[in-house]
């Protein structure tokens, strides 16, 4: 027992030390740079769309850097030692970007244009729009690697980009809030209702897309 406690204590101290180190701060800074790079690329695409097609594909863009506590918790959950190498190799969402679009087709268009750029490496695609999660969650997730240029050279950093429609984002924010409401007693009923909402939202996205296509067709605009 004593041994275990000692081990836990040492581990805790280690992880705190790691999160407080200059190297950790430098790594977080590199993730911040990677976020800025991807955000700029998305803004450039948005501006170009607006010029060419007279519309902006995204409604909003949010970025976030995972907190040190959340990084430590995830490493522990994955059974990994708290090291900088493990963060870089095994955590894909330290740098996160969420792009919310009005229309589903713009999600795929933006994702295609972004991943087609020759400095970007696409590591993984999780298409929860074509294959929604069991609970009804829908979004397109990409794990990218983007180079950042530092004083001592080029480094590739991982960034998670989530693309959603406004309706999908609405659903996900309600779902997220409910997950943290532990006092809910009839979970089954809530899950069923949420899933039904996800289906309705999916139909709504499709209908809105159809309407836009009809409007564009009548205006003689195509892509
Ligand atoms: P994490 O360990 O949470 O990062 O999950 P993962 O590595 O299995 O990846 P996944 O692509 O499934 O989920 C990544 C992120 O998508 C999460 O951190 C959430 O932001 C979002 N997400 C995934 N599933 C759900 C869901 O059911 N509801 C909500 N609200 N968000 C979700
Ligand atoms: Mg995550």
Residue 187 belongs to a domain: yes
The mean per-residue pLDDT over the stretch 154-165 comes to 98
Of 220 and 29, the structure prediction assigns the larger pLDDT to 29
What is the rounded CA–CA span in Å between residue 181 and residue 173? 13
- Residue 95, domain member (yes or no): yes
223 within domain boundaries: no
Is it the case that residue 9 has pLDDT exceeding 70? no
* Phi (first) and psi of residue 150, to 5 degrees: -110, 175
Q: What is the mean pLDDT of residues 15-43?
A: 92
Q: What is the pTM of this model?
A: 0.89
Which member of 160, 187, 216, 223 is catalytic? 160
Q: Are 150 and 158 in contact (CB under 8 A)?
A: no
Lining ligand 1 with CB less than 6 A are 93, 126, 133, 135, 137, 141, 172, 175-176
Confidence check: pLDDT of 186 > 90? no
From 100, 125, 141, the mutation candidate for ligand 1 (largest count of ligand atoms within 8 A of CB) is 141
Which ligand is closest to the CA of 95, given by its number? 2
Q: Which atom number of ligand 1 is nearest to the Cα of residue 175?
A: 30
Question: Is residue 194 pLDDT above 50, yes or no?
Answer: yes
The CATH code of the domain that includes 133 is 3.30.460.10
Predicted ipTM of the assembly = 0.94
Q: What is the pLDDT of residues 54-77, one digit of tens each?
A: 778 899 999 999 999 999 999 999
Q: Has residue 109 been placed in a domain?
A: yes
Which pLDDT band, with edges at 50, 70 and 90, does 106 fall under?
A: very high
The Cα 122–Cα 125 span in angstroms is: 8
Residue-range definition of the domain harbouring residue 82: 2-218
Residue 160 annotated in active site? yes
Sign of the CA dihedral with 132 first, then 135, 139, and 140 last: negative
Answer whether residue 83 is part of any domain: yes
How many domains does the structure of the chain reveal?
1
Alpha-carbon gap, residue 157 to 96, rounded angstroms? 12
Residue 205 CA, ligand 2 centroid: distance in Å: 25
Q: Please check whether residue 14 lies inside any domain of the structure.
A: yes
């Amino acid at each position: 027992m004593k041994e275990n406690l000692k081990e836990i204590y040492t581990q805790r101290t280690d992880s705190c030390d790691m999160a407080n180190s200059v190297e950790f701060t430098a790594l977080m800074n590199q993730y911040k740079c990677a976020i800025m790079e991807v955000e700029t690329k998305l803004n450039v695409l948005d501006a170009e769309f607006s010029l060419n097609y007279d519309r902006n594909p995204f409604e909003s863009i949010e970025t976030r850097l995972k907190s040190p506590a959340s990084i430590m918790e995830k490493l522990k959950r994955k059974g990994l030692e708290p090291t900088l190498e493990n963060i870089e190799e095994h955590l894909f969402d330290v740098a996160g970007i969420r792009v919310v679009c009005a229309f589903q087709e713009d999600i795929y268009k933006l994702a295609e244009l972004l991943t087609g750029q020759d400095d970007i490496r696409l590591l993984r695609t999780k298409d929860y729009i074509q294959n929604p999660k069991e609970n009804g969650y829908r979004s397109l997730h990409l794990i990218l690697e983007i180079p950042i240029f530092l004083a001592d050279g080029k480094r590739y950093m991982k960034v998670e980009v989530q693309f959603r429609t406004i309706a999908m984002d609405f659903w996900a924010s309600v779902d997220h809030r409910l997950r943290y409401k532990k006092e809910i007693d009839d979970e089954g009923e809530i899950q069923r209702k949420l899933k039904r909402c996800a289906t309705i939202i999916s139909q709504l996205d499709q209908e809105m897309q159809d309407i836009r296509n009809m409007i564009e067709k009548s205006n003689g605009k195509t892509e």
